[in-house]
Structure 1
Amino acid sequence: MLPVFLWVIFIYLVVQRLVEVNIAKRNELWLKAHGGVEKGEGHYKWFIIVHTLFFLSILLEIYTRKAPVQNPGLVLLTLFILTQVLRVWCITSLGKFWNTKIIVSPNYPLIKTGPYKYISHPNYVVVGIELFIIPIMFQAYLTSIIFPILHIILLLIRIPAEERALRETSISK
């Protein structure tokens, strides 16, 4: 059985992702109304599938375990909170330009503030860390191995597509 504290975290994460989908949709509409064009649409569905399966996998592992799930320790909880802070920093740094899709526009310069000042794709790093830490918090160890690997595989497609889209629209120059 899952402790109440972990149910709260799980529900928070699901609600957070749904809110982010709504933010991304609103930003998508704004970007497209201001000259934005979507690129690399073909692989996007795989992100949706992997991230949905991620949550289902955690629940499956929890309910197929013989031992009860324990609350996470202070170190895991601290790492989780730090990833959430970094996640919000990534999203707020891009503002209306943050999206779960690749949408580019030659009308706007590439954003190089916040974590984007230090690394090109900080949100992907944060998500990769989350896909490892969150399942460990729930003692879903198989999920903590499988989903970061799936994330890396998707990024091998996503990052080149995003970089190509930025080059083609002259945003990164």
Structure 2
Amino acid sequence: MDVGIQFWIAFSIWMGTEFVIAIRNRVLRRNVSATKKDKGSLFFILFGVWLATAAAFQFHMHKWGWVTQSVANVGVFMMIAGVAFRLWAIRILGQHFSLSVSVDVDQTIVQHGPYKYIRHPAYTGTLITFVGLGIGLNSWIASCVSIMIFLLIYAYRIHVEEAALVSQFQDVYEEYRKRTWKLIPFLY
């Protein structure tokens, strides 16, 4: 079973938005005074995107963990929903969103929109996108592999990011951490 045009549309939307996010990040952060504290986490995320995408296409080609076309269509919807959720989180942060971990001099803790409940909603959006990618490519195994890859990578990234935020905002960020979830409400 080949993937439908709807998958390729969703895949193109995802790739296009990530391209726009990278350009937007470069333009909006051109004059931002920030301290970089990434510790290689951006590299791990980029590697994870490549690895999870390549694995999903391989699982599709070998028909591992095959799902029906109806289920695959749900995966396509999940891809679009994940991209939309990620974009919402990025829009809320505005110029303070950065692809690498950095703390801006004039940054504050954003606590509205998705940040009211989740500390890292852009990562949540990526997880939803990759679960959808695997299912959209007719493979529930690809979705499981993607979840494992990104949970490992995001565990490191969140550790790095939260250490930077605690060092900058101390008690204010600690209070925010106490009443929000890291990535997935009610789970993590």
TM-score normalised by structure 1 residue count: 0.82
Kindly provide the CA deviation profile for residues 10-35 of structure 1, in whole angstroms up to 9, marking residues without a partner as x.
Answer: 222222222222223334x33xx332
Q: Is the 8 A contact 2:78 2:128 kept in 1?
A: no
Equivalent position of 1:108 in the other structure: 107
| Corresponding position of 1:120 | 119
The CA distance in 2 between the partners of 1:172 and 1:100, in whole Å, is 25
Deviation at 1:70, TM superposition (A): 3.5
Q: Aligned equivalents of 1:82 and 1:68: distance in 2?
A: 20
Q: Which runs of 4+ in 1 moved over 6 A?
A: 66-69
Q: Between 66-75 and 51-60, report the one with greater CA deviation.
A: 66-75
| 1:55 equivalent in structure 2 | 53
Q: Is the 8 A contact 2:22 2:99 kept in 1?
A: yes
Aligned to 2:186: none
After the TM superposition, which residues 57-72 of structure 1 pair with which residues of structure 2 at under 5 Å, given as runs? 57-65=55-63, 70=69
Structure 1 counterpart of 2:165, which letter? L
Displacement of 1:138 in angstroms is: 1.5
Aligned with 1:41 (options 28, 39, 42):
39
Deviates most, 39-48 or 163-172:
163-172
Distance change >3 Å, CA 14–CA 78, structure 1 → 2 = closer
Distance 2:62 2:167 in 1: 48
- RMSD over aligned Cα, in angstroms? 2.6
Quickly say closer, same or farther: Cα 1:172–1:96, change in 2 above 3 A.
farther
Q: Find the aligned partners of 2:74 and 2:49 in 1 and give their Cα distance.
A: 24
Equivalent residue, structure 1, for 2:157: 158
Q: Distance in 2 between matches of 1:68 and 1:140?
A: 6
Task: Give the conservation status (yes or no) of the 8 Å contact 1:2–1:69.
Answer: no
C-alpha offsets along residues 138-170 of structure 1, whole Å, 9 cap, x if unaligned?
213322111111111112211121111012223
Residue 25 of structure 1 corresponds to which residue in structure 2? 26
The size of the alignment, in residue pairs, is: 170
Distance 1:25 1:90 in 2: 17
Alpha-carbon distance change, 60 to 47 in structure 1, aligned in 2, over 3 angstroms: same
How many Å apart are 1:171 and its aligned residue? 7.2
Tell me how far apart the structure 2 counterparts of residues 4 and 78 of structure 1 sit (CA, whole Å).
Answer: 13
What is the one-letter code of the residue matched to 1:24? N
* Per-residue deviation, 1:72: 5.1
Report whether the alignment pairs 1:138 with 2:127. no
Residue aligned with 2:40, SS = helix
TM value normalised by structure 2: 0.76
Matches of 1:164 and 1:148, distance apart in 2: 23
